[in-house]
Amino acid sequence: MSFRLPLKKNWTFSQFHLINSLFALTIERPLVFLMGLYVGFFIFDLTMSSFLPGSFSLYYPMLHFFLGAPFILFLFFELFPACIKKNNLSFLFLRLIDLVILLTLAKHIFLGGQPAHQILGGPIGMLYETLRLLEFAFFAFMCWSFRQFAVGLQRIISVKSILFKTQVSHDHISLSPHLLFNALNNIAGKSALFSDELFHQIGALSALLQQAYKDPDDPHYLSDEVSILHILLFLAGSNKKRFSVLLHIEHELPLEYFKIPRLTLGTLMENILKYGVLDDPDNPAEMNISVKRDLTGNAKLTCTTSNLIHPIKAGFSSSHGLSTLENVINHNFQNRAIFEWGQNLNEFSTLMILPYGKIETGTH
C-alpha cells in the first residue's frame, strides 16, 4: 500500500535519560564532583596568582589550595544543608569561626612561624585573606546550588516518570467499552436461540477479555496481538452483512519471537472499527503488518493502516486514541520507534515501525 499523505510526526523527548546522564556524577558522587571542580578552581587561582605583583611562587597557591579544601567541604556538606533545614545554625557558625582561625594558624605554621600580623600584612592583607575566603565560600555555594538544582530536577523527573508509567499501565489496561458493548448486544440478540455462531462469539469475547485485562507485567507477544486482531474483526463483522476490513500479515520469523505492548495493534484496529467506513467493498479499510529483517539483519515490524473516515462517527473524537498509543510506544522502545498519522481529505492513515534489533536466540 502506497502512502500519499504528508504524515504528521510527533517526537517525544525523554528528559529522564538525558538528565540522568548529565547529572549522574553530581548527584551520586558529590565529593568527586566538588573536588573535581575545586581542582579547576585551583588552576584558576594559580593562574591569577602569577599576575600578582612580586615574584611568582607556587608555594602560596598550593598552600591556599590545601587549606581551602576543608573550608569548602565544611560549607558544602555541613553549613549550606543546615541552612535549608535550619538546624544547629548557631553551633555551625561557631564551628566555622573555629575553622577559619585554625586555617589561619595552619598558614602561620606552614610559613615558618611568622607572626600573624606579618602573615596577614596589616589591614590590606586581612582584606585580601577575607576576600579569598569569600571567594572560596562563593565557589562552594555555586557548586552546592548546582547540585541542589540537579537533585531537585531528578526528583521531579523521577516522580513524573513514575506517574507516566502508572498512566501508561492504567491507559493500556483499559479497553474502550464501545466494542465490548456492541459485542454483548450481538450476543444478547441471539441468546434466545442457541447456535454454533453464538458459541463462537462467546468464546471470542472471553478470549478478548482475557487479553485486555491480564496483568500488564505479563509478557505479551506479537502472536497474542494478532490473535486480538482476529477476534476484533470476528466480533465486529459477525452481525454485519457488508463488512470490508482487510488484514494482511507477512512475516519471515515466528511471531512468538517478538514482544509488543499489549493492545498496540489492537488500538489501531479499534480505531478503524470505531471511526472508519466498514461497508464499502470498493474502498475497504486495510491493516498491513510486516515483520522482516533488513540487509543488516535487524528485524523490525512495519504496520500501516488506511481507511475512509465515517462522516458521523469521526465527529465524536478528534484524537482517535493515538496520543496515548504514541506514549506507550515511546516508553517501551525508548523513542527508537516511528509512529505517524495523517489525514488526506476523507482518508485516515497511520504508519508504525517498531525496531527489534538482531534476532539471535530466545525472545525479544
pLDDT score, position 53: 61
Q: What does DSSP say about strands 298-308 and 245-251: parallel, antiparallel, or unpaired?
A: unpaired
Query: What one-character DSSP code corresponds to residue 309?
Result: B
Q: Given pLDDT bands bounded at 50, 70 and 90, which one contains residue 238? A: confident
Q: Give pLDDT tens digits for 255-265.
A: 999 999 988 99
On whether the pTM is more than 0.95, the answer is no
The overall longest dimension of the chain from CA atoms, in Å, is: 111
318 pLDDT above the threshold of 60: no
State pLDDT tens for residues 18-43.
Answer: 556 666 767 778 888 888 888 887 88
DSSP character at residue 238: T
pLDDT of residue 341: 92
What's the pLDDT tens digit per position in 63-96?
A: 778 888 888 888 888 888 888 777 778 888 888 8
Cβ-contact 307, 350 below 8 angstroms = no
Residues 187/198, Cβ–Cβ less than 8 Å: yes
Residue 215 has pLDDT above 70, yes or no: yes
Residue 338 has pLDDT above 90, yes or no: yes
Lowest mean pLDDT among 1-10, 241-250, 322-331: 1-10
- At residue 120, the pLDDT reads 53
